[in-house]
Amino acid sequence: MSIAENLAQIKQNIAEAKTKSPNPTEEVTLVVVSKMHEANELQEVLDCGEYILGENRVQEMLEKYEKLPKEVKWHLIGHLQTNKVKYIYDKIELLHSLDSVSLAEEISKQMSKIGGTMPCLVQVNVAGEEQKSGLKVEEAEDFILKASQLPGIKIMGLMHIAPNYADKEMVRPLFKQMYELFISLKAKNIPNTQMRYLSMGMSGDYEIAVEEGSNMVRIGSAVFKTASPF
Ligand SMILES: *Cc1c(COP(=O)(O)O)cnc(C)c1O
């Protein structure tokens, strides 16, 4: 399978999953996770019309940023260290992993230099896995109330990384919980926030995520997998 065929298949799967979603008419944004893939391979993705690329490391993103056309919309999906904000604040379209007040403050400080606003998703860890970053469900609202008051920060939704369960159906209750949190925060109409995106779903679980209300999926390995020659 080529990248183009993989992308076509993924889009078809998303369309089918969407029919079961609580919002079946919602547009689902595809973020192609380009980590560990070289710029020449990524050109093939762009040639298919997919311009939203997700990277989880700052250094790797910066290298590709130099090589690929300016039309690429870079999303940072991995944990962002406060001391690295200065390298990317003017280069990314969306940060998926806002998870601390100190990070929000640093982003606010850097954005004040260019008078801009950084759209951010708040990372929530519903499974409560110790090794993953992200806020607890019960911390999310307070955090959003605080972070949204900082100039240069625009909270645009939530992000979730599911545990890597062998039985993929085990993620469904977590996705349901994320969707409920998303809807309840949206209903609160917190000033200076716009609960627009719920970023959840990766190669192994994106169909379940969309069925449960995700409207932004981050897909890497399913895009780049190639058939074994053996
Ligand atoms: C790598 C990564 C993905 C994509 O994972 P695949 O299983 O390859 O689709 C999505 N989100 C985050 C945060 C990642 O680091």
**Residue 230 falls inside a structural domain:** no
d(CA 204, CA 87): 31
Ligand 1 close to Cβ of residue 209 (< 6 A): no
Number of domains in the chain: 1
The reported pTM is 0.96
**Residue 194 falls inside a structural domain:** yes
H and E: helices and strands count for the chain: 9, 8
Domain hosting 31: range is 3-224
Mean pLDDT of the chain: 95
**Residue 103 falls inside a structural domain:** yes
Measuring CA to CA, which residue among 8, 24, 15, 30 is closest to residue 216?
Answer: 30
**Residue 217 falls inside a structural domain:** yes
**Residue 229 falls inside a structural domain:** no
Largest CA distance in the chain: 57
**Residue 135 falls inside a structural domain:** yes
Residue 129's pLDDT band (cuts 50, 70, 90)? confident
Residue 226's pLDDT band (cuts 50, 70, 90)? confident
- Looking at the chain, list the stretches that DSSP marks H as alpha helix, in order from N- to C-terminal side: 3-18, 39-47, 58-67, 85-88, 101-114, 137-147, 172-187, 206-211, 221-224
53 backbone φψ class: left, alpha, beta (φ>0; ψ -120 to 50) = beta
**Residue 43 falls inside a structural domain:** yes
CATH number assigned to the domain comprising residue 181: 3.20.20.10
Identify which of 32, 52, 77, 205 to mutate to test ligand 1's pocket (most ligand atoms within 8 A of the CB).
77
- pLDDT of 227 reads 60
pLDDT in tens, 37-57: 999 899 999 999 999 999 999
Ligand 1 close to Cβ of residue 35 (< 6 A): yes
Ligand 1 close to Cβ of residue 56 (< 6 A): yes
pLDDT in tens, 187-206: 999 999 999 999 999 999 99
CA of 97 to the centre of ligand 1 (A): 13
pLDDT in tens, 135-163: 999 999 999 999 999 999 999 999 999 99
Q: How far is CA 45 from CA 48, 57, 153, in A?
A: 5, 19, 30
**Residue 164 falls inside a structural domain:** yes
Atom of ligand 1 nearest to the CA of 219: 9
Ligand 1 close to Cβ of residue 95 (< 6 A): no
